[in-house]
Structure 1
Amino acid sequence: MVIDNKKIAIIGGGPGGLTLARLLQLKNADVKVYERDENKDVRVQGATLDLHEESGLEALRRAGLMKKFKANYRPNAGKLKILDKDLTIHLNEHSADETYSEDRPEIDRAPLRKILLDSLKPETVVWDSQFISMEKEGEGWKLHFKNGNSYYADIVIAADGANSKIRSYLTDITSIYSGITMIEGNIYNAKINAPKLWELVNGGKVFALDNNQSLLFSTKGDGTLTFYTGCKSDENWVKNSGIDFKNKNQVFEWFKEEFSSWKKDFHELFESGEISIIPRPQYHYPPDQSWETLSTLTLLGDAAHRMPPYAGEGVNMAMQDAFELAENLTNNTFETIQSAISDYEKNMLKRASEITRITLNSTEMLHSPKAIENLLKMFKGE
């Protein structure tokens, strides 16, 4: 195969990077994953992930990990309630015979990460490796990390997320602000700290949509309630708002004003001290982006095609990138690494363009005056 005797460095130990490492190791490739986290036990934030049949689940099948996935996924976590600012329920999959989420099983980030990490050879992941810079060396790259270590790689694969530091070595195309800024919150021990909302979510998901705003909720197996506010705002709102987002009370004051027409039951989000909060302005790359293929560097996941989360495609896109790239690098179809990467990038960018357009349409729909009406029509195929 074209990567025989090549050292491959994957920067970033998220689902995309770890999936790629697993698939490459199944073909005996020489691969290392450089991850900024200090160790595997660092708390994993974020909502539960729904894996799609043709992408996330297909990646796990190819990786030989479906048995472990089935032992760790949460069968009812995808059941959805749709409600408005007055808590009127417009859809409740917990009481329905059929759901729209049956083919998108849910798993928490932490167990998915553990499944992938446990599938790798010992010492594959180099922890505490925050990427700083790299330069050309011989036919490959010399990589430098914040801890002072440096390593050589023939091929570098950027799986370092939406704020990728490696992307600029391949393209100067920058991201575009979507018009929506989210605030992510994680309420720990939520059954005690947010009991009414915990009961409302009922182990599944809630889409609360009204007044051109969104509140999305999901639970995790460790008892955490994760929520995301979504509001239309200026790109620099986070910086210019004057809010200290490490100060829960300041964020709560903003919430009470911004969501003033919403029922006060939602105030329970901020009544506990066991909470973490982070603002997340939402960006995307142009649907028509392209760049000149290199034989020594490529991108996958959010580093290649970041987009808002309102179509649930992020992790699935990354895992599909991983199995398509692994296939090209190991299937003996291509005579050179560059031709293998070029074919991968061509197909990946075409797929990303389509999903980006769908995601932007969904983002606009969920923050429009008829959000609930239009979402229900979409579910019904109308």
Structure 2
Amino acid sequence: MNSARDPRIAIVGAGLGGLTCARVLERHGSSVTVFEREASADARPQGGTLDLHADTGQAALRAAGLLDRFHALSRPEGEEWRVLDFATAALLAHQGPSADGGRPEIDRGRLRGLLLDSLPEGAVRWDRAVTGVAPLADGTCRLLFGDGTAEDFDLVVGADGAWSRVRPALSPAVPGYTGVTFVETGFDHCDTRHPDLARLVGNGSMLAKGAGKSLVAQRNGNGHIRAYIALRAPEDWQVASGIDLGDQQAVRTHLLRMFDGWDESLRYILRNSDSGFVNRSLFVLPAPHTWEHVPGVTLLGDAAHLMPPVGLGANLAMLDGADLAHALVAEPSVDDAVRAYESIMLPRSIEAATGSARGLDRLVPATAC
């Protein structure tokens, strides 16, 4: 940063985008503090596998000086995609890994760990829940915490996801339900305990889709397969159906009824998973989502452009983080940096949101294919 002093920068949220921003800033000698409401890095599972694109996620890791370490941990074979007929499980389409390994897979938790390990001790303050922010008249911003305390910063970066506590300082927008829910479940030691499913999925991901519902299964690390039962349904579908998501057998029975007529090798996913069922209703921000510039505060990742999980969100969040960090290093003031960053990020996110909406329609078609 070309200024008389090191600016006080706070990042709210220790997800992939916020940590990428922190890492790039630290690499350029700028101090930053990341505030995270979770008690520790291991407080909850971090989700499934991600494919990192060369021009977004991998570009961000290159800026962070972590690309070689990423390649050592990633699974190039995880790029494989298999599309199966829902009624017969016949292979309809197959995409193998690209010759250059252009979009290798990595478990989200492992990628987050790579970023966390790259930061100095104390850069992330765990168990610090943010309740809101207040832009101040002098162009700085006050960060408000759940314990009633507050701290002032030259810049507060909202990297705190779908239900961001920072977003209201910039925009009144709130996420809306897409009409699609993912019901998540999983399989452990799949090659030995679930070999038929392992062969069905292959080295990467498998998709079978019908009208208003799909099955997606993807390889994770350590022999785990994570599966998603995708449904076009009301947000409270389980309530309307009288289903307790904690009653595994009741959920299985209901889902098997919904997927009547599907091939039994695919219905195996519904009958035999090792873990329970987790309901994940999909929400998005209105598109386009923009805001008038406010000094002292900005957003990145899902806080700025929540979109369907079809492979773009994590990549864009990381690129957002790297772009913001580069602007803060290059521009003469914090405000100039944020304006430069937003002028790049907002148009890019509008285009991506449109593409992601189309991707969700292809993943879970409303009518028969």
Normalised by the size of structure 1, how large is the TM-score?
Answer: 0.87
SS at match of 1:77: helix
Number of equivalenced pairs: 365
Letter in 2 for 1:323: A
Report the Cα offset of residue 106 of structure 1: 0.9
Alignment of 1:66-85 (within 5 A): 66-85=67-86
In the TM superposition, residue 34 of structure 1 has moved relative to its aligned partner by 1.3
How far is the alpha carbon of 1:147 from its aligned partner?
5.9
C-alpha distance 138-293 of structure 1, shift in aligned 2 (>3 A) = closer
State the match for 1:112 in structure 2: 111
Q: Look up the equivalent residue of 2:12 and give its one-letter code.
A: I
- The within-5 A match list for 1:280-319 is 280-310=280-310, 312-319=311-318
Q: Give the aligned residue type for 1:118.
A: D
Q: Which runs of 5+ in 1 are unaligned?
A: 372-382
Cα distance in 2 for partners of 1:142, 1:247 equals 45
Name the aligned partner's letter for residue 303 of structure 2.
Answer: A
86, 91, 94: which one pairs with 1:92?
Answer: 94
The match for 1:49 is: 50
The whole-number CA distance in structure 1 between the counterparts of 2:10 and 2:238 is 34
Q: 1:329 aligns to what?
A: 328
Seen in structure 2, the aligned counterparts of structure 1 residues 361 and 138 have a Cα distance that, compared at 3 Å, is closer
CA displacement, residues 340-364 of structure 1 (integer Å, 9 cap, x when unaligned): 2123223211111111111111212
- 2:215 & 2:273 partners in 1: Cα distance? 20
CA offsets, 1:28-66, max 9 Å, x none? Answer: 222111122222233433221101111000001111111
Please give the root-mean-square deviation of Cα atoms over the aligned residues, in Å.
2.4
> 5+ residue gaps in structure 2?
none
* Matches of 1:54 and 1:265, distance apart in 2: 37
Residues 51-90 of structure 1, C-alpha deviation per residue, up to 9 Å, x if partnerless? 1111000001111111101110012111111102121111
**8 Å Cα contact 1:17-1:159 kept in structure 2:** yes
Q: Tell me, in whole angstroms, the C-alpha distance in 1 between the residues paired with 2:130 and 2:249.
A: 34
1:186 Cα offset (Å): 2.9
Tell me the equivalent position of 1:126.
Answer: 125
- C-alpha displacement at 1:192, in angstroms? 5.0
| Partner Cα separation in structure 2 for residue 269 and residue 345 of structure 1 | 43
Asked if 2 retains the 8 angstrom alpha-carbon contact of 1:208 and 1:216, the reply is: yes
Alpha-carbon contact 2:324-2:338 (below 8 Å) kept: yes
Question: 1:150 and 1:305, CA in 2 relative to 1: closer, same or farther beyond 3 A?
Answer: same
Name the CA distance, whole Å, in 1 between partners of 2:240 and 2:338.
Answer: 41
Task: Answer whether contact 1:44 1:109 (CA < 8 A) is retained.
Answer: no
Amino acid at match of 1:87: A
Letter of the aligned partner of 1:29 in structure 2? S
2:352 partner amino acid: I
Q: CA deviation at 1:253?
A: 2.1
Correspondence list, 1:117-196, <5 A: 117-135=116-134, 139=138, 140-146=140-146, 150-196=150-196
Out of 347, 353, 358, which is 1:356 matched to? 353
Aligned-partner Cα distance in 1 for 2:59–2:71: 13
Cα gap change, 1:315 to 1:152, in 2 (>3 Å):
same
- Are residues 153 and 185 of structure 1, via their aligned partners in 2, closer, same or farther at CA, if it must alter by over 3 Å? farther
- 1:217, distance to aligned residue in structure 2 (A): 0.9
Q: 1:342 to 1:246 in 2, by over 3 A?
A: farther
CA distance in 2, matches of 1:84, 1:242: 30
Deviations 1:270-296 (A, max 9, x none): 445741432122222222222111121
Deviations 1:96-149 (A, max 9, x none): xx7499421111112211111111111111112232334456853443444666
Percent identical pairs in the alignment equals 34
Letter in 2 for 1:231: L
Q: TM-score, normalised by structure 2?
A: 0.90
Question: Which residue identity does 2:155 align to in structure 1?
Answer: I
